[in-house]
Structure 1
Amino acid sequence: MQSRKFSIFFLLAACVAVLGLGVTPPAACATPDPTEQLRPFLQKVTDTLADPGLKVIPKKAQAERLVGVVRERFDFREMSKRVLGQQWRKLDAQE
């Protein structure tokens, strides 16, 4: 009798789980479009490049300003770790 109750409970739980997955709104399951994720960053880069004030400052300052915008979005340290893999651990702080 105990086994039968467990079987019925398990069957009901499985049905609820399956039905619950079936009624989840598609928007909740959807992943964001990569283009939409990058759009604000690309707009900021475009705005920075289009800024008339950028044209009157020295080239080095222009580059630093643009690199500052890029560093807001990309973690170069983390990307380096992932690219170098196990070699990353062998490097010292200066490298």
Structure 2
Amino acid sequence: MTSPLGGIVPVGVGALGAATGASGPVPVATAAEGGDGFAAVLAATFDRLQGAQRTADGLAVQAATGDLRDVHDYMIASAEASLATEMVVTVKNKAVEAFNEIMRMPV
């Protein structure tokens, strides 16, 4: 017997960054909505990662030039970008691990 997974909401890369202006979880595209499913979620996650890194880089430049008013904004953005990168690398490693395991299966 299987149970429906309708109550599970995926957490996007930018979900940690409410203080830096990032939006909430990545919306899941379903087949009924015409989305590409996993590919659409993966692409949105990479876009959010790029945005988090871009924000942290911009705040780092402001901190270096003395234009940054609150150093906390930079520290939050930097931590968010670091965690997001770590999460994406971990997901990539697990995907490669799963692919390798599938390739080792006897046919």
Bigger RCO (CA 8 Å, 6+ sep)? 2
Q: TM-score, normalised by structure 1?
A: 0.31
Higher helix share goes to which structure?
A: 1
